[in-house]
A and B are shown apart, each in its own frame.
Chain A
Amino acid sequence: MPTIRLENVSKHYGPTKAADRLSLEIMDGEYLCILGPTGAGKTTLLRILSGLTLPDSGKVFFDGADRTRAEPEERGASMLSQTYSLFPALTVSENILFGPAIRGMGEKDKDDTLNSMLDLVRLTERSDAYPKELSGGMMQRTALARALASGCDTLLLDEPLRALDARLRISLRYEIRDLAKSLGLTTIHVTHDQDEALVMADRIAIIRHGTILQVGTPNDVFDHPNSPFVANFVGQCNFFRGKVLSSGSITQVQCADGRSIEAGPSELKAGEEAVVAVKLGNTELTKEAKGYFSGTVERTLFEGKYIHVDVNVKDVGTISAKLPSWRLSKLAIGDQVDVRWNAARANVFPMPEGGLEQELKVE
């Protein structure tokens, strides 16, 4: 299975930069999720990898060999599109055997491939059905089987779960990952759903405006984001602006109204403008102890396992928190609460150029 490397790849559509000097390495047999908002260049990246789009500049390597201008059919990389693109005139079996037939596989081998694939995706009983007769999940599995049967060693998944209903989407997450892992395929999975990426990926690459912002394990990008955007896109955050008072193993930041708050380690200089990001889930509300801020409960939303609480703090605005549901009975609208967090679990960043609003914009 190949190691794939993109080097300084650029692709412009008019003024839009779909890929802007983008570099990325995908390990042999790795399951990599590309996570980013709509229009970030996710699909373009996948199309460049598959050979369907030629980059304006930059190179694509498969196992160290320059394959930038290789035809799609020469790359051994199968693409699974959002709509699956099952060929409507062919049955499930014929769809699955599309790749083998093209490559001139013998009848015996074709039969074996078909049977093992049907077995793998549990569609043996629907092998003679046409795509329009299948449910969304079955179409998804047929498309997967077709990609696997083509003899590819790289799987390119373009939002493969988008068109499915919520429950199915969650069960298929594990199924796709297990399948790719057991076959040892190098998989690149594009999604805008952070939960999906966190659950499925070995590593996540966060993309925006055609550049990779951060690559790391799910744990890494969740707990140690390298920018306010990543912090907010992978799990929502509360943001606080201020000036750095001191840094080191704990960074102290002074907000505009004079209150001082704390965040994890940094090497920011004192006096520098900074942003502190605290994940909603790491924000604690308490009535017993003193916190960084105190405010009034403005709204509570019941979300099943969690409750979402908005607290209004004078001069700071709304701070949100996600708390376990059992606390719903102890919090009423109008209650005075203190807001605090474990300093080590808050991240601090230098103030981004162009301001915080610009940085957090998801377009």
Chain B
Amino acid sequence: MTKVNRLAEGRKKTLLDLVSGRRFRTGWKSFIILFFIIFVILPTVWILSYVVTDWSSIQTEVFDKPEIMQVITDAIIASFEIAIIVTVIDIIVGLPMAWIMVRKEFKGKQYLDTLIDMPLAVPTAALGFSCAIFWAVTPDKVNAPDFSLAFITSPFMLIILLHVVFSYPYMVRSLSAILEQIDQTYETAGRTLGASKFTAARTITLPLFRAGLVTGIILCLARSLSETGGTMIALSTMANAGTFETGPTIIGKWKALLSTNPDLAAPLAFVSILLIVISLVLLVVLKLMVMKVRLPAGKVWPKWERTLSRNWVPKLKDGSAIIFLFIFVLIPSFFIFSYVLVSPSAITEWGTFWNALIYSFIIAGIVTAIDIVLGVPMALYIARGHSLKFPQFLDVLVNVPLIVPTAALGYSLGVFWKGVPGIGSLDFVLIIMAHVAFTYPLVVRNVAGAVEEIDPSYEETARTLGAKPLQAFRRVLYPMIKASILAGAIMAFTRSLGETGATLAVVSSANTAPVYIVNLIKADQFYLAAMACIVLIIVSYIFMLALRYVTKRRTD
């Protein structure tokens, strides 16, 4: 009998002993996995089962009605066209910007760094209004400032311009993250062997970019395909948007009409299924393609490329990258501030807005709490078991809600829970569950990433020193991953706060802040909407500053 055993025997069983038992741990682990499957994954893709259970109604309500079919194909095609064009633009303008951020040293770099992330602080609902009054021809009732550009008349163009604004930071961030990890000595070696700057960058560094490019492309596509609130607002703000719809906006619109027109259930399911399936297929194809496709790095045109590396060309490239950032990203994001300065104030009542904001805060708070309590153990399971088959599988599965357009996710989730007595009618609970589904992966990703970088020998040593699993986590691992938990939490919180599509798709009459703003615009209450947007921007900005502070401390 060892000393330790004697010690342990003298004590009564405590709660800590109870939760440290192997049986309890297995139970808890199963609960975490079950939660993920039942509350996150299944509801997200539940709507796909509609194909099997209710194919006949899709047949009668979609395929037999050419006008419905037309609306659906137009919306889906528009959605994917926009997403692809936006992503291509992001790559073209994001690459030089990522290069500037990583490879150049200049005064004021940290300000540029902050500026790039700024659009992330603006909820997309606010962005939609801001972009629309900046770019688009608007009806007189909107009262857009005289100095706005106001020349875009095509809704398609406007939505592209809008989506570029909020997807651009994701692309720049993904690309610069990978660029930072690429050893610059390769390029230096290339240059000492006689390659010009441009040749070296193109043939040596660019092919190493694939991983970052995939991440960037996926994030941009997913964000563009998902976006609902901003798109809806932009379309209702501009003049003659006509019948233009994207996949998510049509879901929002039909969901609102569903109570009066139950026949729309089948088309709604069909749009959601299309969005989910095409996004997932696109994701898989992209992953395979980018890894397979070889960039033409073999051929070199020395004369040409030397010219491109010298004199005014690089300067022009850097200059345009920065000009693009200002004109296409930053000014449209914050143009809304000029609106409230110029337009006559027309405040009627703030009460409803504050109520909506508080409601949004409560939801975001509960959602974040659930994400942390159930997402952190999941992250630990994935990160610590990544040599095993099942955690690896979960690791892939966790990404699914990130890819699935949130409006489709929301509708699917609503259908999933509607059948469950007691839950189907609780709007508040439904909204929370929808928000958990798409924010949960953010926490899991963040924390799993951090845990994977920490040598497991810390916890193991703690165990051999006498710590129970919970104590080893609390005293050893937790201090090391605190920052990433917080970062994940802030991301989840702001995403929940700004989300429109999923909310509308589960509960069309929900009263969250972004939905409230959408409704204001639809009711032509532009001034109040703008003020509400600004409040939302400020609140989100404060959270983003907190996020930067937290993540900066982590890297120190």
On A, residues with C-beta under 8 Å from B are 2, 50-52, 62-63, 65, 69, 71-83, 85, 87-89, 98-99, 102-103, 146-147, 150-154, 156
Contact = CB atoms under 8 A, between A and B. Distances in A.
B1 interface: yes
Given A151-B3, A152-B4, A99 B457 contact: no
B467 A74 contact: no
A258 to B, nearest CB: 55
B4 A72 contact: no
Given A50-B460, A87-B475, A146-B465, 16 more contacts: A51-B464, A71-B463, A72-B460, A76-B5, A81-B457, A83-B457, A85-B458, A85-B461, A98-B465, A102-B475, A103-B7, A150-B464, A150-B466, A151-B466, A152-B4, A153-B3
A76 B463 CA distance: 10
Interface string B10-31: 0000000000101000000000
Interface string B166-180: 000000000000000
B10 to A, nearest CB: 12
B2 A75 contact: yes
B486 interface: no
Contacts of A52: 460, 463-464
B4 A76 contact: yes
Given A73-B463, A98-B462, A83 B455 contact: yes
A88 B479 CA distance: 9
12 contacts: A50-B460, A63-B1, A69-B22, A71-B22, A71-B468, A73-B468, A78-B464, A85-B458, A88-B480, A102-B467, A153-B3, A153-B4
Interface string B64-99: 000000000000000000000000000000000000
Given A2-B2, A76-B4, A89-B479, A103 B466 contact: yes
A1 to B, nearest CB: 8
B464 A98 contact: no
Contact of B465 (A63, A65, A83, A150): A150
B476 interface: yes
B465 A50 contact: no
Nearest to B25: A71
Contact of B464 (A63, A73, A83): A73
A356 B465 CA distance: 44
Contacts of A51: 463-464
A63 B2 CA distance: 8
B457 A74 contact: no
Task: Please give me the 3 A-B residue pairs with the lowest Cβ-Cβ distance, nearest first.
Answer: A76-B2, A72-B463, A76-B4
Interface string B469-489: 001000110011000000000
Contacts of A82: 457
A230 to B, nearest CB: 30
Given A63-B2, A79-B460, A89-B479, A147 B8 contact: no
B384 to A, nearest CB: 12
Given A79-B461, A147-B465, A102 B471 contact: yes
Contacts of B465: 73, 78, 98-99, 102, 146-147, 150, 152
A96 to B, nearest CB: 10
Contacts of B1: 63, 65
A61 to B, nearest CB: 12
A323 B469 CA distance: 55
A167 B7 CA distance: 40
A74 to B, nearest CB: 7
Interface string B442-461: 00000000000001011011
A75 B2 CA distance: 8
A238 to B, nearest CB: 40
Nearest to B464: A79
Nearest to B387: A13
B3 A76 contact: yes
A85 B3 contact: no
Contacts of A156: 464
Contacts of A147: 464-465
Contacts of A151: 3-4, 7, 466
B21 to A, nearest CB: 9
A51 B461 CA distance: 11
A254 B198 CA distance: 70
B62 to A, nearest CB: 49
Contacts of A71: 20, 22, 463, 468
Contact of A89 (B455, B461, B480): B480
B467 A153 contact: no
Contacts of A50: 460, 463-464
Contacts of B466: 73, 99, 102-103, 150-152
Nearest to A72: B463
Contacts of B464: 50-52, 72-73, 75, 77-79, 147, 150, 152, 156
Interface in B308-352: none
A62 B2 contact: yes
Nearest to A2: B2
Contacts of B7: 103, 151
Contacts of B462: 87, 98
B461 A153 contact: no
B28 to A, nearest CB: 15
A77 B463 CA distance: 10
A99 B476 CA distance: 12
Nearest to B459: A85
A151 B465 CA distance: 8
A204 B458 CA distance: 28
Most buried by B among A73, A82, A99, A151: A73
A77 B466 CA distance: 9
B5 A74 contact: yes
Given A83-B455, A98-B475, A73 B2 contact: no
Nearest to A82: B457
A87 B458 contact: yes
Contacts of B461: 78-81, 85
A74 B471 contact: no
A54 to B, nearest CB: 10
